[in-house]
Amino acid sequence: MQAARVTLLSILLVAPLFAQTPQPSMPANPFTSLMSAAKTHALARHAPVPILSPYDESLLTTQPRVDVAALHAMGVSIIPWTTNDPARMRQIIALHVDGLISDRPDLLQQALAAARSQDPNIPATFDVEGHRGARGLRPENTLPAFEAGLDHLITTIETDTGVTSDLHSILWHDQFLNPESCHRVALDGKPQPYDFPDSVYFRDHTLAQLQASFVCDKLKPTRFPDQRNDLSLSPVAVAFARAEHLPSPYTPITVDQLFRFAAFYSEFYQSGAGHTHPEAAARASNAKNVRFNLETKIVPLPDGGSTPPLPDREPNTNHTVSPQVFVTTLCSTIERAHMQSRSDVQSFDFRTLQLVEEQFPAIPTVYLTEDPEQLSTSFVPPGLRQP
């Protein structure tokens, strides 16, 4: 019994040993660490605090998950991509993110209304972003897709940009006009072949050549069963294409044409042919203030060395202009239109975002992420790369 007795003195002597034993530290959350470094870079250039746009799975099952509370404490907004299932929308909205990107803004508005009926803390500023306009309803990144998004009162048009040979910012997801979405204009009534071996890259063609030669109205019914290309559903796109002398409402357009289209849409419902529509006032007011989330479609390929795996659905080669030319072309377009306060530049290529922060600090940046492991690869600039 005596040998087993633990005295107060023995506890006091041993306790410091336990106190001095180093405890393993929890690894830093890569999303939080990334945005901390990105915020430091931006603020040093007098640019706004950047936004994080993670793959929606990063908030639900991916390990580690996006830490919403920690990012909000840093002043970082979170707008995930791309959610189309209503139940999943409600699940993500309940996490108190700042917005959500969807191919189906109609369903997102319904999910948001349902969530607000149960949670009064969802902010009125929640950002409803139409992915590529509203590609679940119309062929993506086209005037009718942007019109469908505006019809459902999206607060931001999310879209993609490339650069033509004569330095116009053209709206498309790929670095070329994808034959799955686009076809050549018929000549003398005869269809012209267009397939992947003949892919037309923006870097190699002028805007005039592209707009005269292609229409991008192909449907994808398997993936988007509610997608339609009936022009009777897109009266504003038809009227704008006529006013701009475009061959078709499904002609590829530019960033500056998108800016003009939003203004045209607002006027159409305020005082034009749509002014008697039951939702005319709401549509005109919303379009007058809609924002633009513009992605630079360039791959962050490192200089030399091996290339790490790319995010799914993204190109794995570059056939476009340099990051500097990309940024100068896009941001100069934004500046000429005086749209700095209504435009964001987003990208998986953080080189372009840092250039925006350094050279065009009035334009906010959005950091797109998918797999957290990729944040530790050479795809990420050294100052932002995670251990």
> For 343-382, what is each residue's pLDDT tens digit?
999 999 999 999 999 999 999 999 999 999 999 999 999 9
Neighbours of 218 (CB within 10 A): 15
Asked whether residue 207 is domain-assigned, the answer is: no
pLDDT at 306 over 90: no
Where residue 286 sits, what CATH number does that domain have? 3.20.20
> For 317-351, what is each residue's pLDDT tens digit?
789 999 999 999 999 999 999 999 999 999 999 99
- Residues 91, 119: contact at Cβ < 8 Å? no
Q: Residue 337: which residues within 8 A CB-CB, separation 6 or more?
A: 256, 259
First to last CA, the chain: 53
Higher pLDDT, 308 or 242: 242
Average pLDDT over residues 116-145: 97
Asked whether residue 210 is domain-assigned, the answer is: no
Asked whether residue 314 is domain-assigned, the answer is: yes
Nearest alpha carbon to residue 365 among 347, 385, 338: 347
What's the pLDDT at 4?
44
What's the pLDDT at 225?
98
Q: How many domains does the chain have?
A: 1
Cα(171)–Cα(330) distance, integer angstroms: 11
Q: Give 300-362 as a 3 state SS string.
A: CCCCCCCCCCCCCCCCCCCCCCCHHHHHHHHHHHHHHCCCHHHEEEEECCHHHHHHHHHHCCC
Helix, strand, coil percentages, rounded to 5, for the chain: 40, 15, 45
Asked whether residue 187 is domain-assigned, the answer is: no
Question: Residue for token digits 């006013």?
Answer: 243
pLDDT at 174 over 50: yes
Asked whether residue 1 is domain-assigned, the answer is: no
Nearest alpha carbon to residue 150 among 12, 268, 6: 268
What's the pLDDT at 1?
42
Phi and psi for 164 in degrees, rounded to 5?
A: -80, 175
Question: Residue for token digits 């940009």?
Answer: 161
Q: Residue 322: which residues within 8 A CB-CB, separation 6 or more?
A: none
> For 177-228, what is each residue's pLDDT tens digit?
999 999 999 988 898 999 999 999 999 999 999 999 999 999 999 999 999 9
Asked whether residue 382 is domain-assigned, the answer is: no
Instruction: Name the residue type at position 49.
Output: V
Taken in order 97, 298, 329, 203, the sign of the CA dihedral is negative
With cut-offs at 50, 70 and 90, classify the pLDDT of residue 20. low
Cα(173)–Cα(161) distance, integer angstroms: 7
Average pLDDT over residues 292-319: 73
Asked whether residue 192 is domain-assigned, the answer is: no
Asked whether residue 137 is domain-assigned, the answer is: yes
Find the domain containing 320 and state its range. Answer: 31-175+254-376
What's the pLDDT at 24?
54
With cut-offs at 50, 70 and 90, classify the pLDDT of residue 312. low
> For 231-287, what is each residue's pLDDT tens digit?
999 999 999 999 999 999 999 999 999 999 999 999 999 999 999 999 999 999 999
